Structure 1
Amino acid sequence: MTDDTEAPSRIELPAAPADQAAILAAGGVACWSEPLWIDTYEPGEPDPYPLFLDRRVYQGSSGKVYPLPMIDSVAHEKAPRQWQAIHLENAYVRLALLPEIGGRIHIGYDKVAGYDFFYRNNVIKPALVGLAGPWISGGVEFNWPQHHRPATFLPVDARIEREADGAVVVWHSDLDPLQRMRGVHGVRLRPGSSLIELEAALHNRTDVPQTFLWWANVAARAHEGYQSFFPDDVAFVADHARRAITAFPRADRPYYGVDYPALAAERPDADRIDVYSNIPVPTSYMITDTDDSFFGGYDHTADAGFVHWADRAISPGKKQWTWGDGAIGRAWDDQLTDDDGPYVELMAGVYTDNQPDFSWMLPGETKRFRQYWYPVHGTGAVRQATTDAAIGVRAEGDGTRITTIATRALPAAVIEVRRDGGLLARWDADLGPDAPFAAIAGVTAGSAGLEVRVLHAGETLVVWRARAANAGEPWVATAPPLPEDIASNDDLFATAVHLLQYRHPTRSAVPYLHEALRRDPADSRAATALGSWHLARGEYDAARDLLGAATARLTRHNLNPRDGEAAYLLGLVHERLGDDHAADRCLAKAAWSAAFAPAAMLARARIALRAGSAVVALDLARSAAPIPEAGRIEALALVRRGEVAASVARVAELLAADPLDPATGALAGESIDRDARTALDVGAEFARAGAVDEALAVTAAAVERTPSAGLAGPLRHYLRAHWLERSGRAGDAAGERALARGASAALSFPAGLDHFDALVAAVAADPDDVVAAGLLGMWLLDAGRHADALAHLRSATEGGSTDPVGWRNLAIALVAVEGDDAAADAALTHALSLRPDARLLLERDVLAVRRGTDAATRLSLLETHAVLLDARDDLAVRHANLLLDVGRTDEAWILLTTRRFRPFEGGEGLVIAAFDRASCALAERLLRESAPAEAAALLEAGFVPPSSLGEGRHPAERPVQRWVLLGAARAATGNATGAAEAWRAAVAPSPLAVAPRAADESTYWTGMAHLHLADGTSAAAAWDALDARATALRTATDEVGYFATSVPELTSFDAATATARAAMADRLGRLAARGRTQQLSAGTAEVPERTDA
């Protein structure tokens, strides 16, 4: 929060320039680009080390971030910064869009109601919520191809288009940093309308099928008077992955560990989860079904809100998320804003209804759709809505209050109330965004057959009908069986597809495919899917064999299979292997299937142009229309035929249709300076079509503008060398490779098969090239080919590489392949000697835990690099815990109470746990030193942790040890009543923490509280629970829960080894034994023993 002496930050929206003000005054749409000064907490520098987070769970699916660099710090002080902004305004609505932060709508303001219907965050204050780190709250974030948008804090290209009817649309475009698909979204305002239109075009510009989802994430300022509304037929909502459900709007069972029915028994309506203030903990819910296309939120205090509408046929997703109106929520509010308070997110999903819930997009395919929002006021929670108008219906006295508002001026509109077809009431009114209507109808709101209509000029614009909610409880997802437990190959394949489609982070599809092929070695479905997997890993020979087997099975009886995917993928494999003739034959057959015909014809056109057959390429490219890449091959083919003017005209035609396409722009001579990877992608597209000179031109200069998206470094030169070599210019290729060896490799993380092929060629050309070997090893690590990665990383490091990234990557490969933690430690130590870095220090300590290194040794290793210990929060927490382990309690306390922490979402609780541990250790010492009053004061002060920890207490994480020690301190001061109150608090159940919890150290303290309360039976049950958990840990495997939503694994070593589990099991066993000893020693439990040894 802002200091009391500091003026709150406030975004000041500029007045429209004179020319735009004139348009606005005439009833039109004003639009202009003008920077905004916004107080900003700057993100830290990108991590120079790539993260291979294969098992990171993020938003319920894979949290893989490579090749994006991770940013894991944010400044604690703000400073004014100019952000590029595009302003869009008409008579009713004003928007501010930020192209430098993902093309989001940052401000949505209802000029009529004087209300920010989208949450206005007056600071740019990133928290560590995003896939790659920084993420901001507020406005509307457009998330694709996963949630949250990987490029959420990266810039996009933007352009203003003024349409013939007076509408204005602001277009945004970028290439997704992970999958390299292209996303375009436009935000449109029309004259005389409050409707905000989002038009999107999502294009799979890659060679292979891809999965994606789209969630438009609206934030709305929340308080006890804010209500989310969904269609009347919504009866149930689901958690992530449908792992749990509850009734809606009244939760009828515990949800997210909160017993809502129990709360409602104490406080009426406390079970209504459509009201923000009733939700005490971070909570998501997504509707399970509706026949309607709208939802939104309403601020009853301001009497204003918003509606979202999108065709339910493609937009079934309707979700609310909140940090919760509790300690955790308040802590995250502080992380994300200074003074603008809490918010809820009301998300609209297209081609998705859950998170995760991905759909498929074929190569070359473009998905186009529209979404709409508009502000409302004077309506209350909306019961039905279209893009024309919204209706509110609620009981008032003995009658029903009818409200409506329209998105444009509707003079002489008609509002009718009917029941069973008979007219009960009618009003004539002039409706519009500035003219809501309200009246009381003398009929009971819940009457069967009741209907409210809004009509204009004889057209029905919106109808609300009284109806029951959908009956029947929806299905809940369950984890699939293991491969050997599945009966049929059909089910094996379906399960594998599900795991691939939903990008499951901890359960691989590959064993299911292997099992299917074990049972039937030529199963075409499994062989095709596994062949595609090998293709993505650059294992071309394995892919060729599998896809060949699949096509053989498919054509055994019928030379013209119904599905062309196997033939298409086999054609791609042959192309990568350099056999263009075989590739063309496979692709030609694949083109017989409509699903793969455009992509197959595009690939054939590419091959033909590369072979110099411009006429053939031109014909094939035209057959591949409307894929955008086909138009560019047309233009290139026309040049090769000498028809330069026709080529220029074709490029101009393509640019007119899509002015922000970077590849088309490059053909027109425009430079690509947004990010390095896009320039390389465009160059690769041209080179694969044989347009090497065009590829060289577009990659002639290094793009260093957006380091947070990664840099080209040596990759640019290796790609250029590969293109030159394939075109017969070996000498020029050698020169490029020499430049590569001398280029900085900072933030140069190779990804994709074009990079792989270029690096393989570089290593083949010069086996002593340690730069190429190191980059190839990095690529192979990301691909999961750990043994191959180890070979190349060894080649690089043994060949004299002085790049600490390569040495660190070697450590990862050594652990993954050989389990050689000692050699990995040596590699990390050498990397630290080359360039001291806090990440290396963190990863070496993670490795030390794997190795079972004692606390004193670990602490000594960390403090050898004391200057680095302050650089990372996760390192600081480890340092504090190690200080506590060795008894240096005062130092740990100072560290934890003088530092300001920023947790990663999903990683909350670690700092509070260390804080509790430190304060309890100090209190135990005070008790032993006969200073119980000081101990009690210390313990009482810590129930609400200091805001500097960046975390709030979760109700399920109860500070049991603190309560027990407080009871002991109070007892020692003679306050027996206060002591008993503390001990009862330690064992008291809570409706906010009903989820069962595995026994841990707090279980020991629960047992101690029961002892103090003379409940020996409950104490004994606690010791038994500790023993049972210890036994379970000794036999457990390293497995994250199938339905985990967030596991923010931020190192590339897995610390959850058998050694670590055994250590925890031993510790719990010792605590159980100690508890039984205490129970046998009646009367000696008043001064508890230390438990941190």
Structure 2
Amino acid sequence: MNAFNLKVMRHIRLCLSLAILTGITGSLCAQVRLTETEWILPSYTVAPPDKNPMFFDGRSYQGASKVIYPYGMNDVIGTEKSDRAWKALVLENEYIRLCVTPEIGGKLYYATDLGNGYNFIYKNDVVKPSNIGMLGAWVSGGIEWCVLHHHRASSFLPVDYELVENEDGSKTIWIGETEPRQRMRWTIGITAFPGKSYFEAMIKIHNPTPLTHSFLYWANVAVHTNKDYQVIFPPSVQVATYHAKNDFTHWPVSREVYRGQDFTEGVDVSWWVNSPGSASFFAHDLKEDFMGGYDHGKETGTVHIGDHHIVKGAKLWEWGSGPRGQATEARLTENAGPYVEIMTGAYSDNQPDYSWIKPYETKIIRQYWYPVRDIGGFKNANLNGAVNLEEREGNRIFLGYHSTQEIDRARIVLKNRGRVIFEKIVRISPESAFTELIKSGAAFKLTDLYTEMTDAGTGEILVSYQPVEMDYPEELPETVEPPPPPGDIANNEELYLTGRRIEQFHNPRIDPMDYYVEVLRRDPLDIRTNISVGNILLKNGDYLNARKHFSNAITRLAKDYTRPSDCEALYLQGITLRALGLFDEAVDTLHRAAWDYAFHAPAYLELARISAAKGDYAKSLAEINISLSTNAMNNSAICFRAAMQRKMGDYSEAEKTLETILKEDPLDFRAANEAYLLARERGDNQEAGRRLDILAGNMRDFEQNYLELAAGYLNDGLPGEAEDVLLRFKGEYPIVSYYLGYLAHRKGNREEAGKYFIAASRLPEDYCFPFRLETIRVLETALEYDPTDGKAYYYLGNILYDKQPEKAIGCWEKAVEHAPGLSIAYRNLGWGYYRCLEDGHRAIAAYEKAIGLNKEEPVYFEELDALYETSNAPIEKRLRLFEGNNEVVSRRDDAFARQIAVLTLAGKAERAVEYLAGRQFSYREGSSRVRDIIIDAYLVLGMLQLEEKDYDKAVETLLKAQLPEEEASGSRSGNRNIQVNYYLGLAYEAGGKQALAKKMYTSCTEMESARSGYISYYQGMGNLKLGRKKEAAEIFSSLVAEGEEQIRRANSSEVDFFAKFGAQEAENARLSDAYVLKGLGNNGLGDTGQALENLKKAVELSTGNLNAVIALSEVTTP
């Protein structure tokens, strides 16, 4: 029976048993219904992930490091639509219906108010992915659970799930996963309750590792929007801020130029219609427990409730109501219309804004959403309901209440300065709001009013509101500024804290080690810095060097035989010593660390693992119990305790230990496996079989679930249990076979181990991206059996590259030595030679070897051409790379775009345009590169036709280079239509169409561009054509100045600290662009000699700089 049917049968059995036990036929099951079904949705295809590992290359994503490995890129998105059946988990009661799609990242796909049919969580009518996610494919709508990072890497991948019926009649959909990059576990329970119109999301983030990590959590909530939609932050929110808090504005009425949008006249930006461009508004210093949005046209909306001490983040994101924003939204849906995101963050109030989570810590977040209607918005809200109070003309007061449950006798009271001016007892429910327009006998002040809704029977205040006089600040808060270079920070503490913040926020442009190294240069024994450096090295598996830094910290901490108050260095040293196999030293060090309450629980858990590995289960159990005494929420320790109780034959205590965790976290595979082992060892084969069926269904044949469970047992000193888990895996995956070989080796069965290792080496390497540090020892053991196993070396290199890149490169060199046909290892060497060793020559040779072995990987072509471009290879060489390979490179947008760029640069724009015919590219957030390459191809072809005096053809081609107005300014270079229209003017002028030429030149000068840069040159040239020499000269002079400033910045190695997307450009490319600006400015000012010098320099720096090549070709020698 497959996993789908198993879950359905379990659900049916549960409903039937509840009905029998309660003596009813449908009461509980009818109030809250939970079903798993198939949902047919029109869907666009996403190709299988790329087979090549994608290591970190300095790219930014949502303001943090774009760390992809060990995930695969799934960014090849098809253009054809067909119906597809998706798993749908549907949860509903009498008021609301929710749908969760576990195959789409566990997204809550929609939530509907059953009373009016309004989707109070956005419902997309089609699965239409775009390249917005970290890995690529991402779909709009619903609630995306952005756990650990934003957006979550797996938001378009399947997640674990389970359906649960609770004793109180509520029902829960559990979703979760173990995130591979930090090995942390998250689960979310989405619950609907009988008689309530809200649903709960309980988020558990568990750090099952012995190390501290930083994490981010946001619920990305989409709601339908239109001209009548208003986003509601609590009335006390007076200021909003941007990503990284590098810009602030007043809220709700902005009076600033905010992120390029001019609101200086005073614009209420809480209304979607008032922000034509894309924008993020984070509530600054949230002080209440609610936020949401309201459609004033449809008289309905969405309320979110969460404890603001934990759920500290509230954010509005919008593509914008203007043409460009709506053009983008049209790519994400077909008929569902525009949306805004009313996001909520916990332990975070910004993006990126990461918080720390300690070893074995569990953080729990509770959030609630419900629909609201018929009350014109809301000024306060809680789980009981929402209230609106507004002043109306003619001394009238509008009062509205919405309730999340039916209340037969609700007392509504309105007071003015303590005197009751209105009172009424009403029946209220989610389907029937209360509203009243109250005539005040005299003038009143809004802040003198107070209203409340109470339960008339109990007197309990359900929800209330007291308007408060707001004193809106004139001065906005101080913005975050990029940190100075390490050498410019005088104070060691500030230097350390700067590095720590960079590490905490995963900044992609600046390395925290630069700051730590400077501290240690000044003070080699600095305690905090040695701990931070050691911690990084420990996470990277560099145990020997980590040990040195922890020893340095301990030397100062323990000077004069001092018992330190902060024992983090001792704890981490104990972890390191255990990893090095120095168990006696580790035990002594961990015991000393446990004297510090902060490390008492994790230190004793590590001690328990060492004891278990020695077979001393009684001692291990005692140490686990001590650990749990100071961290009772550690699932890892609880499951470990059950295992020790089971090993000692104390089955009844083991069962008690597991009872709570199985109920509270049904996706804890370790607990479920222990329950299976317990039943098996008791001889209850039927119960064991039942539990194993459930566990197998929940683990969904996903190899990483099996490996993570097995690794957990190995870390706990229980290799037998680890082997039992892996033997149940039904698929074929090299690392599973390597582990089974390793486990056989540990049992002393060399023959069996050898067979597993051979089998592992013969399995395909496709999509095998190992990442666990534990796997290093496994692969090293395999190499002891067969030192010529090239694939084992290849996998070792993959694990190590983002941690110890030089060592990884050595492994890949061994891989190609023993497996010379392994093209992917040559590709990895090319990656490492260039990005780590900065050896472009060897990198190119490795890529060329990879392509020589395998011409079917478009990534190889894209990455090699990038190296050719960086190394200033002749254009002929770049052209030869793509010749005859169009079918392969066209499988990926990035490779195909490079081919088009090369053809254009090589003077073969006509062929480039032919290849572009009918090609559709996937939208990629934060990048205009593909769009620029398309424009370049048509522009250059039009210029060639102009040169050939085929003016009509040139006009026809250049018109194809124009962009719709809403997209024209989206280029990183500025409004490309300015440039295109200038050449259109030349074509019209040369063809004798003076009026049209003047129109084009005029448009050049009048168009707005979000960015300056080389595009402004064409505005200057347009002014010259119109006889406006003064205006033109100002533009050309500013180009020269801008070029000089960019040269200064490039030479000073300044980085974009706040970069949200993309990679840092190579220095030669940035300098080349700067010299283009100077050259164009010189040329416009008539200094052709200086122009030639600067433009030649630009081409010399980057032969692939098309703008430099074009400009140089157009400058005449004086």
Secondary structure, aligned partner of 1:849: helix
Q: Is the deviation greater in 725-734 or in 633-642?
A: 725-734
Which amino acid in 2 is paired with 1:298?
A: Y
1:616 Cα offset (Å): 0.1
1:684 Cα offset (Å): 1.2
1: CA distance, partners of 2:165 / 2:1112: 68
1: CA distance, partners of 2:1046 / 2:879: 26
Pair 1:305 & 2:332 matched: no
1: CA distance, partners of 2:248 / 2:156: 32
- 2:415 corresponding residue in structure 1: 418
Over 3 Å counting, the alpha-carbon distance change for 1:551 and 1:442 in structure 2 is farther
Aligned length: 1044
Q: Is the deviation greater in 934-943 or in 469-478?
A: 934-943
One of 489, 509, 514 as aligned partner of 2:512: 509
Over 3 Å counting, the alpha-carbon distance change for 1:23 and 1:559 in structure 2 is farther
Answer yes or no: is the 8 Å Cα contact 1:97–1:106 preserved in 2: yes
Which amino acid in 2 is paired with 1:677?
A: Q
1: CA distance, partners of 2:960 / 2:769: 47
Which amino acid in 1 is paired with 2:1081?
A: A
Which aligned pairs between 1:818-897 and structure 2 lie closer than 5 A?
818-836=837-855, 837-897=857-917
Which amino acid in 2 is paired with 1:900?
A: Q
Secondary structure, aligned partner of 1:618: helix
Q: Is the deviation greater in 743-752 or in 185-194?
A: 743-752
Secondary structure, aligned partner of 1:479: coil
Which amino acid in 1 is paired with 2:448?
A: G
Which amino acid in 2 is paired with 1:961?
A: Q
- 2:1094 corresponding residue in structure 1: none
Pair 1:238 & 2:235 matched: no
1:1020 Cα offset (Å): 2.6
Answer yes or no: is the 8 Å Cα contact 1:71–1:134 preserved in 2: yes
- 1:921 corresponding residue in structure 2: 940
Pair 1:343 & 2:346 matched: no
Which amino acid in 1 is paired with 2:44?
A: Y
2: CA distance, partners of 1:513 / 1:1089: 43
1:396 Cα offset (Å): 2.9
- 2:378 corresponding residue in structure 1: 382
Pair 1:689 & 2:709 matched: no
- 1:10 corresponding residue in structure 2: none
- 1:53 corresponding residue in structure 2: 56
1:979 Cα offset (Å): 4.1
Unpaired runs of 5+ residues, structure 1, are 1-15, 705-711, 1081-1087
Answer yes or no: is the 8 Å Cα contact 1:316–1:351 preserved in 2: yes
- 2:641 corresponding residue in structure 1: 634
Which aligned pairs between 1:709-728 and structure 2 lie closer than 5 A?
713-726=733-746, 728=748
Per the normalisation by structure 1, the TM-score is 0.90
Answer yes or no: is the 8 Å Cα contact 1:104–1:141 preserved in 2: yes
2: CA distance, partners of 1:469 / 1:982: 50
2: CA distance, partners of 1:1016 / 1:316: 55
- 2:1003 corresponding residue in structure 1: 985
1: CA distance, partners of 2:398 / 2:762: 75
2: CA distance, partners of 1:512 / 1:377: 53
One of 719, 724, 727 as aligned partner of 1:700: 727
Which amino acid in 2 is paired with 1:461?
A: L
Which amino acid in 1 is paired with 2:455?
A: H
2: CA distance, partners of 1:445 / 1:88: 46
Unpaired runs of 5+ residues, structure 2, are 1-10, 677-691, 1090-1107, 1114-1118
- 1:708 corresponding residue in structure 2: none
One of 389, 398, 401 as aligned partner of 1:401: 398
Over 3 Å counting, the alpha-carbon distance change for 1:26 and 1:552 in structure 2 is closer
Answer yes or no: is the 8 Å Cα contact 1:327–1:954 preserved in 2: no
2: CA distance, partners of 1:378 / 1:737: 67
1:977 Cα offset (Å): 5.4
2: CA distance, partners of 1:411 / 1:572: 60
Which amino acid in 2 is paired with 1:822?
A: H
If each structure's helix is expressed as a fraction of its own residues, which one has the higher value? 2
Over 3 Å counting, the alpha-carbon distance change for 1:929 and 1:733 in structure 2 is closer
Answer yes or no: is the 8 Å Cα contact 2:121–2:143 preserved in 1: yes
Which amino acid in 2 is paired with 1:477?
A: V
One of 1068, 1072, 1084 as aligned partner of 2:1081: 1072
Over 3 Å counting, the alpha-carbon distance change for 1:786 and 1:939 in structure 2 is same
1: CA distance, partners of 2:203 / 2:611: 33
1:1089 Cα offset (Å): 12
Secondary structure, aligned partner of 1:802: coil
Answer yes or no: is the 8 Å Cα contact 1:233–1:469 preserved in 2: no
1:145 Cα offset (Å): 0.8
1: CA distance, partners of 2:346 / 2:616: 42
Which amino acid in 1 is paired with 2:815?
A: A
- 2:534 corresponding residue in structure 1: 531
Which aligned pairs between 1:190-209 and structure 2 lie closer than 5 A?
190-209=193-212
Q: Is the deviation greater in 452-461 or in 1071-1080?
A: 1071-1080
Over 3 Å counting, the alpha-carbon distance change for 1:932 and 1:302 in structure 2 is farther
Which amino acid in 2 is paired with 1:240?
A: H
1: CA distance, partners of 2:836 / 2:33: 60
2: CA distance, partners of 1:374 / 1:805: 50
One of 1009, 1017, 1020 as aligned partner of 1:1004: 1017
2: CA distance, partners of 1:122 / 1:975: 48
Relative contact order (C-alpha < 8 Å, sep 6+): which is higher?
1
One of 271, 282, 286 as aligned partner of 2:282: 286
- 1:780 corresponding residue in structure 2: 800
1: CA distance, partners of 2:397 / 2:386: 16
- 2:318 corresponding residue in structure 1: 322
Pair 1:295 & 2:291 matched: yes
Answer yes or no: is the 8 Å Cα contact 1:905–1:1048 preserved in 2: no
1:981 Cα offset (Å): 4.2
- 1:136 corresponding residue in structure 2: 139
Secondary structure, aligned partner of 2:177: strand
Answer yes or no: is the 8 Å Cα contact 1:687–1:723 preserved in 2: no
Over 3 Å counting, the alpha-carbon distance change for 1:134 and 1:751 in structure 2 is same
1: CA distance, partners of 2:94 / 2:644: 49
- 2:460 corresponding residue in structure 1: 459
Pair 1:796 & 2:824 matched: no
Pair 1:87 & 2:90 matched: yes
- 1:436 corresponding residue in structure 2: 433
Which amino acid in 1 is paired with 2:662?
A: L
- 2:666 corresponding residue in structure 1: 659
- 1:218 corresponding residue in structure 2: 221
Over 3 Å counting, the alpha-carbon distance change for 1:958 and 1:841 in structure 2 is closer
Pair 1:814 & 2:833 matched: yes
Which amino acid in 1 is paired with 2:1069?
A: A
1: CA distance, partners of 2:130 / 2:72: 16
One of 172, 175, 185 as aligned partner of 1:169: 172
Over 3 Å counting, the alpha-carbon distance change for 1:812 and 1:1040 in structure 2 is farther
Secondary structure, aligned partner of 1:596: helix
1:651 Cα offset (Å): 4.4
Secondary structure, aligned partner of 2:801: helix
Which amino acid in 2 is paired with 1:276?
A: W
Q: Is the deviation greater in 747-756 or in 927-936?
A: 927-936
Over 3 Å counting, the alpha-carbon distance change for 1:846 and 1:924 in structure 2 is closer
Which amino acid in 2 is paired with 1:437?
A: F
Q: Is the deviation greater in 431-440 or in 625-634?
A: 625-634
Per the normalisation by structure 2, the TM-score is 0.88
Q: Is the deviation greater in 338-347 or in 433-442?
A: 433-442
1:26 Cα offset (Å): 8.6
Which amino acid in 1 is paired with 2:1019?
A: T
Secondary structure, aligned partner of 1:123: coil
Pair 1:564 & 2:567 matched: yes
Q: Is the deviation greater in 883-892 or in 304-313?
A: 883-892
2: CA distance, partners of 1:345 / 1:469: 28
1:1021 Cα offset (Å): 3.1
Deviations 1:690-736 (A, max 9, x none): 211111111125565xxxxxxx8332233334444445444443333
Over 3 Å counting, the alpha-carbon distance change for 1:965 and 1:693 in structure 2 is same
1: CA distance, partners of 2:116 / 2:601: 50
Over 3 Å counting, the alpha-carbon distance change for 1:1061 and 1:879 in structure 2 is same
Q: Is the deviation greater in 785-794 or in 101-110?
A: 785-794
One of 749, 763, 768 as aligned partner of 2:788: 768
RMSD: 2.9
Q: Is the deviation greater in 112-121 or in 594-603?
A: 594-603
Answer yes or no: is the 8 Å Cα contact 1:395–1:445 preserved in 2: no
Which amino acid in 1 is paired with 2:719?
A: V
- 1:366 corresponding residue in structure 2: 362
- 1:113 corresponding residue in structure 2: 116
- 2:703 corresponding residue in structure 1: 676
Answer yes or no: is the 8 Å Cα contact 1:48–1:746 preserved in 2: yes
